[in-house]
Structure 1
Amino acid sequence: MTAFILVSGMFTGTHVWQETTARLTAAGAEAHAVALTGLDGPPGPAGTRTDLETHIADVLAVIDSIDATDRKIVLVGHDYGIHPALGAADRRAPRVDRIVYLDSGMPGDGVPALAAVPDQSLRERLAAAAGDADADDVLPPPATHDEWRLWGSTEGVPGPALDRLTALAAPQPTGTLLQPLRLTGAVASVPTTGVLCTGNGTSIEMVQMMVGFGDPALRALVDPRVTFFELATGHWPMLSSPAGLTDVLLRAAAGEGHRLEPVEATEPPPHLRPFLLDVPEAPRERHGNVDLHLPEAEEPRPAVLFVHGGPVPADARPTPRDWPTLTGYARCAAAGGAVGAVVDHRLHDLSDYERAAADVAAAVERVRADPRVDADRVALWFFSGGGPIAADWLDAPPSWLRCLAATYPVLAPLPNWGLSGGRFHPADAVANAGALPVVLTRVGLEMPEIAATVEKFLAAAEECGADVEVVDVPHGHHAFETVDPTDESREAVRRAMRAVLARLGRPGTR
């Protein structure tokens, strides 16, 4: 028999698991929802502070209450709940047969749960208040349906279930978020399963792509003991898809699931495969974090600055400006008579958009200041996760910006990205684009969560009458230039490049 131990996320308690526990029990398993102190468990002793160690002790008590002679224990942590789940599993590793990360992060030793809070401003405020005796000891729970969306997608959750979630929500003790998770390493021996909720902005394809970037933190995910499932729903699958979640948990306990492909040393990952066009090399100069690919010309030429996606691990090598796709596009621009510029910006984490945007703005000024560039004729071209940075330029286009291009871009922050402010939302900013031409390359086999942001952008652009040309690649995937080197893909790159270069115009024209 399998005994599932279910640990809930922020502001929630055992009530969120009621239908899932009933279905697991009906399937012949045991199910134990952990009552966490200060949420829906009993309050801690008077004068004591509820912290992460308190919740780890709550989970340990449930593990120790289960007769291990004929039961396999599967520990499930949702959202914040993965922190106490991991802490307990590390101390009872021989007792735990599998850990399920249910739409959660991957915290390591020394990392507090605060790092996973999606709102950056809230993270900074709570961190600043740490140790302040006058600071509040609890974080108020969401009070409305809209406030829940700040903590994760509510896609699929029925209205009455959201009403109940709100009514039963409890304040989160801030000590549970601020205290670092301490692991001895014993938990590394326990097999794991990741359950990704695509409605919240994650997918197996995205994780595989990040593994291909060489992120050291993700190397362990190619271990055959690690499996993955996807659920086409939002961040609270126990409320939106209890039947689907139950099925996935039972299959995870049986060792089923998708296994990631290792990055073989003999075959480059997709982002390092050859560019699909045979483009002649151009003279290349490196200026700080910007590379210039120069055309043959005596007079100042227009420029195209290419902005890579991400997040890209800080120690990834080669860096994006040496990736075949970006150098290929830059050489195409140079062959067409423009300066092709590529910037290495610091989008290493989802919390880095502000500094990445600052890097891009500085790179623009560096390019425009070069005497070989016509500073009044510049285009910006964004890729993939670099798309949100385009919002700054759509919102207030300068006169010298002649075109903005985007290729398989993310054009609205995904629900789990924590970009809740007004910035970095291209689908909103396009209303202020005015006459700025936009060239958008759309792939037909895009990840659904990204495709939805593109359609949101196009709907907003149509409503405000923005000048958008769409270059479709019907059979193309994300990163089609190296993944799908077909005639269709080649023509799409050529068409997009012609469109951008044409909009750069002649000196003195708009």
Structure 2
Amino acid sequence: MTVFILVPGVFTGAHVWEDTAARLAAAGAGVHAVALTGPGGPGGAAGTAIDLETHIADVLAVIDSVGAADGREIVLVGHDYGIHPALGAADRRAERIARIVHLDSGMPRDGVPALAAVPDQSLRKRLAERAGAGGAEGAAGELPPPARDEWQRWGSTAGVPDAALDRLTALAAPQPLGTLLQPLRLTGAVAAVPVTGVLCTGNGTSIEMVRMRVGFGDPALQALVDPRVTFFELPTGHWPMLSCPAELADVLLRAAAGEGHRLEPVGAAEPPAHLRPFLLDVPELPRERTGNVDLYLPGAEGPRPAVVFVHGGPVPAGARPTPRDWPTLRGYARYAAGQGVVGVTLDHRLHDVADYERAAADVAAAVELVRADPRVDADRIALWFFSGGGPITADWLGAPPAWLRCLAASYPILAPLPNWGMSGSRFRPAEAVADAGALPVVLTRVGLELPEIAATVEEFLAAAGSCGANVEVVDVPHGRHGFETLDPTDESREAVHRAMRSVLTHLTA
């Protein structure tokens, strides 16, 4: 018989698992929902320091309470912050654990505190500064639980019934800061334990997005192609035990049985999607490289208009080749140069979702470098953004300079995804478009877009429609995210031609 040990996330307790636990028990499984030590919970006596080690001990106590001699397999499930004490305990009892389930959680690493996974970027920064300034005392105290309308800062509440959200709020407890600030210590023993990731697409993560990140070559993600690693998706927000407990129970039972989607090793059958050939035959034109910027120059004389192509991400810092050498970016830049304008690619530092400010600064600096080049007509510039570069469009939509003749975006992410923790940030194109004025916007939309990204595009288009923004949509009904290398069809080629014609028309008018 399988025994599930369920570890809750921040501010929550064993109560969040009630419905899911009941369904697992009805299926014949053993179930233990861990009550983590807290200010008002077991072991939380006044004056007692509570840190990550305290919670690891809580999980260990439950593991040790499960008889080792009767052949029962333990599946350890960590939701949100709960994956940190779950992994810490599994590392010390690796021989007892049959599988670890990451339920809409990150991939904690040795020496890294749970603070690194807190989705609210502004809060994460404040707590890190407090800990750095206060030493041991900086880790003391508690983080108050969110009010009812603040849970979205910790993850999407999509699908959670109002009554369940009321109860979640009523039973929420302060989170001891030491649990977030103390680094996780792992010996490496846990690496031998099979793993399942349950991704909640309503919170901004999917198997396809993980596949893309793995394809970029991030060393931290290469373990995910191990055949012992499986994945499931749930079309809900960050609290599936509240929004879809029956579906969650079914997924956990299937995970325990070794089921789930497995990722192919990078390059096992063919190159990753972003390194496959561009769908158009474009001329080989000279390229000039200055710092992080490449210029593809046309044969025409005199200052020429320019199109600056801005890659998406996040892309790992060590990814090779870097984005400006990816076939899609090179292909578009050469295509533009073949049409008589300067094609520009650049590398910016969007290596994590916390990097948008510096990535935006990199883009702005690159644009100024391009405009200062005597071979470029500084008054005729177009910017073309791709995928995760989409949020940066907010800077240009909100205050478009006179020399910006067109803004284009291909399969863009046009709002921060729920698990990015960017509440209150400036990178919200759907809000910025109200100030775009007459700036032409050319948006290439793919019909087979990832649902979590498609929702941001529809939000943007609704906002653009309500303010009368000048938006042209180029549809690729059968295209996927990154269709230029994934779907080399006539439909896809015509979409690229149409988008480029439109941009060049605005640029040279």
Q: 1:118 is matched with which residue? A: 119
Q: 2:201 is matched with which residue? A: 198
Unaligned 5+ residue runs, structure 2?
Answer: none
Deviations along 1:447-506, one digit per CA (max 9) or x if unpaired, are 000001001110110000000000000000000000000010001001000000100124
Q: 1:38 is matched with which residue? A: 38
1:45 Cα deviation from its structure 2 partner: 4.3
Contact 2:312 2:388 in 1 (8 A): yes
Q: 1:478 is matched with which residue? A: 481
Contact 2:139 2:181 in 1 (8 A): no
Report SS of the residue matched to 1:278. Answer: coil
Asked if residue 101 in structure 1 is aligned to residue 105 in structure 2, the reply is: no
Instruction: Tell me the distance in 2 between the aligned counterparts of 1:266 and 1:476.
Output: 21
**Matches of residues 150-165 of structure 1 in structure 2 within 5 Å?**
150-165=153-168
1:255 Cα deviation from its structure 2 partner: 0.3
**Matches of residues 354-503 of structure 1 in structure 2 within 5 Å?**
354-503=357-506
**Matches of residues 278-289 of structure 1 in structure 2 within 5 Å?**
278-289=281-292
Instruction: Tell me the distance in 2 between the aligned counterparts of 1:388 and 1:136.
Output: 36
1:210 to 193, 213, 233: 213
CA RMSD of aligned residues (A): 1.1
Q: 2:330 is matched with which residue? A: 327
Amino acid at match of 2:271: P
1:227 to 230, 236, 248: 230
Amino acid at match of 2:215: G
2:247 to 232, 235, 244: 244
Q: 1:167 to 1:46 in 2, by over 3 A?
A: closer
Contact 1:406 1:440 in 2 (8 A): yes
Q: Percent identity?
A: 81
Asked if residue 82 in structure 1 is aligned to residue 83 in structure 2, the reply is: yes
1:40 Cα deviation from its structure 2 partner: 6.2
Q: 1:276 is matched with which residue? A: 279
1:261 Cα deviation from its structure 2 partner: 1.3
Instruction: Tell me the distance in 2 between the aligned counterparts of 1:286 and 1:341.
Output: 10
Contact 1:139 1:173 in 2 (8 A): yes
1:87 Cα deviation from its structure 2 partner: 0.2
Q: 1:341 to 1:39 in 2, by over 3 A?
A: farther
Q: TM-score, normalised by structure 1?
A: 0.98
1:281 Cα deviation from its structure 2 partner: 1.4
Q: 2:297 is matched with which residue? A: 294
Amino acid at match of 1:9: G
Amino acid at match of 2:289: R
Q: 1:135 to 1:196 in 2, by over 3 A?
A: closer
Instruction: Tell me the distance in 2 between the aligned counterparts of 1:430 and 1:33.
Output: 46
Contact 2:139 2:178 in 1 (8 A): no
Q: 1:62 is matched with which residue? A: 62
Instruction: Tell me the distance in 2 between the aligned counterparts of 1:489 and 1:46.
Output: 64
Contact 1:12 1:39 in 2 (8 A): no
Instruction: Tell me the distance in 2 between the aligned counterparts of 1:302 and 1:418.
Output: 37
Report SS of the residue matched to 1:108. Answer: coil
Instruction: Tell me the distance in 1 between the aligned counterparts of 2:269 and 2:32.
Output: 46
Deviant stretches of 4+, over 6 Å: none
Unaligned 5+ residue runs, structure 1?
Answer: none
Q: 1:448 to 1:107 in 2, by over 3 A?
A: same
Instruction: Tell me the distance in 2 between the aligned counterparts of 1:366 and 1:458.
Output: 31
Deviations along 1:373-410, one digit per CA (max 9) or x if unpaired, are 11111011000001001111001111111100000000
Contact 1:12 1:40 in 2 (8 A): no
Amino acid at match of 2:21: T
2:143 to 120, 139, 143: 139
Contact 1:152 1:234 in 2 (8 A): yes
Deviations along 1:56-110, one digit per CA (max 9) or x if unpaired, are 0000000000012221100000000000000000000000000000000001101
1:267 to 270, 275, 278: 270
1:121 Cα deviation from its structure 2 partner: 1.5
Report SS of the residue matched to 2:479. Answer: strand
1:39 Cα deviation from its structure 2 partner: 6.1
Q: 1:429 to 1:484 in 2, by over 3 A?
A: same
Q: 1:10 is matched with which residue? A: 10
Instruction: Tell me the distance in 1 between the aligned counterparts of 2:427 and 2:261.
Output: 33
Amino acid at match of 2:103: L
Instruction: Tell me the distance in 1 between the aligned counterparts of 2:316 and 2:425.
Output: 26
The count of corresponding residues between Structure 1 and Structure 2 is 505
Instruction: Tell me the distance in 1 between the aligned counterparts of 2:245 and 2:473.
Output: 39
Q: 1:295 to 1:190 in 2, by over 3 A?
A: same
Q: 1:255 is matched with which residue? A: 258
Report SS of the residue matched to 2:6. Answer: strand
Amino acid at match of 1:309: G
Instruction: Tell me the distance in 2 between the aligned counterparts of 1:301 and 1:308.
Output: 22
Amino acid at match of 1:414: L
1:135 Cα deviation from its structure 2 partner: 7.5
Deviations along 1:134-182, one digit per CA (max 9) or x if unpaired, are 77610111012x2001100000000010000001000110100000000
Q: TM-score, normalised by structure 2?
A: 0.98
Report SS of the residue matched to 1:476. Answer: coil
Contact 1:195 1:231 in 2 (8 A): yes
1:44 Cα deviation from its structure 2 partner: 3.0
Report SS of the residue matched to 1:41. Answer: coil
Of 263-272 and 160-169, more deviation after overlay is shown by 263-272
Deviations along 1:298-332, one digit per CA (max 9) or x if unpaired, are 21001111000001010000000000000000011
Instruction: Tell me the distance in 2 between the aligned counterparts of 1:365 and 1:265.
Output: 41
Contact 1:407 1:442 in 2 (8 A): yes
Deviations along 1:197-220, one digit per CA (max 9) or x if unpaired, are 000000001101111111111111
1:266 Cα deviation from its structure 2 partner: 6.2
Contact 2:443 2:474 in 1 (8 A): yes
Report SS of the residue matched to 2:154. Answer: coil
Instruction: Tell me the distance in 1 between the aligned counterparts of 2:321 and 2:458.
Output: 32
Q: 1:175 is matched with which residue? A: 178
Report SS of the residue matched to 1:410. Answer: coil
